[in-house]
A and B are shown apart, each in its own frame.
Chain A
Amino acid sequence: MATTTQAEAVKSRIAGEEVPIRLESVTHDYGKRVALDALSFTVGRAEIFGLLGPNGSGKTTLFRILSTLMVPTSGTATIEGFDVAREPNRVRQQTGIVFQARSLDPKLTVAENLKHQGHLYGLKGALLKMRIAEVLARVGLPDRAKELVETLSGGQQRRVELAKGLIHSPQVLLLDEPSTGLDPGARRDLWLYLQTLREQEGVTILVTTHLMEEAEHCDRLAILSEGRLVALGSPAELKSQIGGDVVIFETAGEEQAAQLAGLMANRFAVDAVVLGNAVRVEREQGHRFVTEVVEAFPGIVEGVSVAKPSLEDVFIDRTGHRFWNEAGAADETKKAAGGRTKKGRH
């Protein structure tokens, strides 16, 4: 097979020129349904890159393509210069993958699981032994090697998953919803591991997530909605593109919200978006605007919040709808919405 391109890829990798992850109009459809629509972006060396999107946005599809488990219907994706569709084994050698589902064998010990993984990546003997000790120390479980996986807690199992993905010292680490089922403490630990990994070993990390808090940890983000890339940049950059503050006016119902939006658009020439019972406006000096609105249209506004823009605001700004309004995410929506109300906005 194309030995020259391989040789070139290896050469440019040695020169450190190769972009770790590159997507060029990657498109995927399952029959009629388009899951990914011409995605293009690159991920830089030693970057923590987040793929943020609600369920059904195409994250999982893209993750499957990058982990070589599926071939995109068109477009190309490369990891360390190797095409995921044409040179899957080259890609696999460079990439560590942590799946969302448990990939450990619960009937085997931690060390047996890691040994097995090492064997799949061609590691053997003393080198493998050393790597097992190294990765277990890396995830903070140096003394659990002999324990059966089924006896570990969920958080510890997650750490072993990470150790498993790191066994062959990959250049690129892909993680699918890594904090699923983790309590806040374990979640924080995970992000600390990822950051030290990036700093000390220069690993490029791609994380998919549907959690805004998690996305905030990333150096850069790609926000997906219905298979399209709707925003790309660092969390701070993306948020700064929104004008000033985000003001939300709660009203009694959808009619009132629409009415209020109309009134505000006429009076203040603002771009008011109706979101259910609420009207959302981006505005400099949000607190002044609140006073003006409440004085101008007394009785309609039932509640007000003024906040610095969040990533969700970026999402609303780019798509015109809420993050969790996507179809097919019904129960996830409830959970996430619950989390959101508790957090509130001020």
Chain B
Amino acid sequence: MSKRVLEITDLSKTYNVSGTRALDGATLTFHSGEIASLLGENAAGKTTLMKIIVGIEKPDSGSMLFRGDKYIPLGPSSALEKGIGMVPQSLKVISQLTVFENLLLGFKTNLLGGAIKHFKERIEEVMQRYRLQLPLDKKVESLSTAQRQKLEVVRVLQNSPKIIIFDEPTTLISETEKEELFETFRRLSAEGKAVIFITHKLREAYSVSDRIYVIRSGAIIGRYRREETSVEELHKLVSGEEISTDRIQLTSSGEVVLRVEELSIEGSVDGEEAVRRVSFEVKIGELLAISGVAGNGQEELLEGIFGMRKILSGRVLLDGKDVTNMSPRNLRKLGLAALPSDRDGAASCKTATIKDNLVIHRVIDGSWIIDDIGLDAFARELLSDYGVVYGSIFDPALSLSGGNLQKLLLSREISSEPIALLLGEPSRGLDVKHLHLLRAVLTKLKDEMAIVVFTTDLEEALKVGDRIIVMSEGRIVYNDVNRPGLSKHGIGRLILNATGERQ
């Protein structure tokens, strides 16, 4: 009988800025020696719960017991000291330092010499024991995402934690690497540690866990041991609906609006290619979904097409015109619009007003003197058309919740009536309601303009795309029409056959 290692009782939290009730009396228990999944959709509350467990946020009410004692963490390092470590979703490793230097950061004292040697030996021992070997003297910038993830795990393990939390670890790695990760889970739990696997990927949770907790709208609505439940039952709980095998129906193809020929785009290092000789077409009426494991060039592809990154060779043709390496300004004038995946940094200005965020394109293309009254009306109309919840159009954009900001940004791009629209990770972080809205909007729009959705979530791509492209290491490894019956694994197999590599 495994011991209770972390007991969470009645945790609640409301965020003041957006008024969202993120957690609503969540209660659950984690046991040592077990792999437990915290399963839920985006914005269901998993992130908030986890932030509270490691002390990044404080709950409004409720309590936690760690190994029987009251547990109030002050922050991630304090939580780690007490015995709870987390491997975060966005890896907090410093790329300019080596693997060993990154691990040194957690080192208590500032001594040199002998203490460091001893530390090095301990690291090597940990890596050996959990099969997480990494080259100690290599700079992190040359490591793959999966390797960086291993570094994070080692960093946590060197403190001998009792609980290790993995926050959405599978979004950024390939299928093979996922198997390795799950092996790591098993090794850790075999040693008596409690592994908490936070995810929205139902089948993965089901395949690896001993225990599954389903969270929805901030409350734990399902507590099962794996053998007690099934994928279908879980799906119903998680999303509140039956598994649907519906795909958005194919409509007849129209003219080609956007064509990319042998495009190579620069990566983060000068001259290095993040996108290699990629070619595809986008037609009106056919929504193109470009997918693949994150970091394989999708983001660079969007940026390159839209003039935010250098195109090394190849061409981009918009409506027949060569628009290669044109600035965003000129591309917009010709009818290409884009929403980069960096919502806060590039697609919006958090400190500017809602109105300014909305009207910027109209102002730039408008008359020399700004028509304030006309713009106010335009903004209000657009916001109400898309059902955005907001206070006043003069509030700063950071007062909007994630879903509403996304609606605002979408409405802005659509209102400029482009002939082609590029969307970077449009479904990321959206809750179920907004996801459905997004899909509905896309279905309606694809008959009016050519749409490309860039998403690392292959399942989402399969749900919205009429044509699916998968990228790996900057190249296209799959490009075909979406058919009913096509699945993630199906695509994986096809890619395997074509390229001889497991994807």
* A and B interact: no
B residues engaging A (CB < 8 A)? none
